[in-house]
């Protein structure tokens, strides 16, 4: 499968809560392999199905240490401990702002064959799981910024849209 087109802000699919994955068939595995290719080409560390125009509860990730695909994920546990870290999103190219997330999480879901999986992660992995799960609910990382950063992000997005500013450079490590 070829690299898929990544949807960007303004595309309604990014704001639509995704439906659970119901069929674990060859089409799903083709989609998963296309999402891996797209994430690698971007390059990114995570990619959710709505970002390639498919409103299903599914994401792929590659933290450098762990890599996988999860469908229908739910949080089984989140630490009370939080961590602020810079985040970017493949659907908001070039925007990077600090976001507060739980430091560690445990998610449960199924793999591309419908087999139950449980994944635990801290730091970057925990951030990826939370960022991608947000995508499945139609939430973008700019929704989670403090008021000042949110204003700055909106101003930047508007200026790019109006042609008043060049799109900011992509620095990688987006999700
Ligand atoms: Zn994203």
CATH number for the domain that contains residue 30: 3.90.45.10
Which residues have a Cβ under 8 Å from the Cβ of 122 and sit 6 or more positions away? 103, 104
- The residue range of the domain holding 144 is 12-161
> Measured between alpha carbons, how far is 39 from 132 in angstroms, rounded to an integer?
12
- 21 found inside a domain: yes
CB neighbour list of residue 149: distance below 8 Å, 6 or more residues apart:
97, 98
Active site amino acids: 132
What is the rounded distance in angstroms from the CA atom of residue 30 to the CA atom of residue 44?
19
Band (pLDDT 50/70/90 cuts) for residue 172 is low
In the chain, what percentage of residues exceed pLDDT 70?
96
Q: What's the CA-to-centroid distance between 152 and ligand 1, angstroms?
A: 18
Interval between CA 47 and ligand 1 midpoint (Å): 7
Beta bridge partners of 48: 59
DSSP state of 25: S
Residue 98: strand pairing partners: 86
Strands (E) in the chain, as ranges, are 46-48, 58-62, 67-78, 82-89, 92-102, 104-110, 116-122
Convert the pLDDT of each residue in 70-129 to its tens digit.
999 999 999 999 999 999 999 998 889 999 999 999 999 999 999 999 999 999 999 999
Contacts of 25 (CB under 8 A, 6+ apart): none
The count of domains in the chain is 1
From 173, 83, 74, 93, select the one nearest 133 (Cα to Cα): 74
Distance 81 CA to ligand 1 centre (A): 22
pLDDT of residue 170: 67
Is 90 within a domain? yes
Q: Is residue 168 part of a domain?
A: no
Asked whether residue 44 is assigned to any structural domain, the reply reads yes
* Cα first-last separation, the chain: 20
């Amino acid at each position: 499968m070829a690299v898929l087109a990544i949807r960007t802000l303004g595309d309604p699919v990014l704001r639509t809560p995704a439906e659970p994955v119901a069929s674990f068939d060859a089409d799903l595995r083709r989609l998963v392999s296309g999402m891996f290719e797209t994430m690698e080409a971007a390059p990114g560390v995570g990619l959710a199905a709505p970002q390639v125009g498919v409103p299903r509860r599914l994401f792929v990730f590659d933290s450098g240490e762990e890599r996988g695909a999860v469908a229908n994920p739910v949080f089984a546990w989140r630490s009370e401990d939080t961590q602020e870290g810079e985040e970017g999103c493949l659907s908001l190219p070039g925007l990077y702002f600090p976001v507060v997330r739980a430091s560690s999480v445990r998610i449960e879901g199924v793999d591309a064959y419908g087999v139950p999986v449980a994944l635990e992660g801290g730091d970057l992995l925990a951030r990826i799981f939370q960022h991608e799960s947000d995508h499945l609910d139609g939430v973008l990382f700019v929704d989670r910024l403090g008021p000042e950063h949110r204003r700055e992000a909106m101003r930047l997005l508007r200026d790019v849209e109006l042609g008043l500013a060049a799109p900011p450079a992509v620095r990688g490590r987006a999700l």
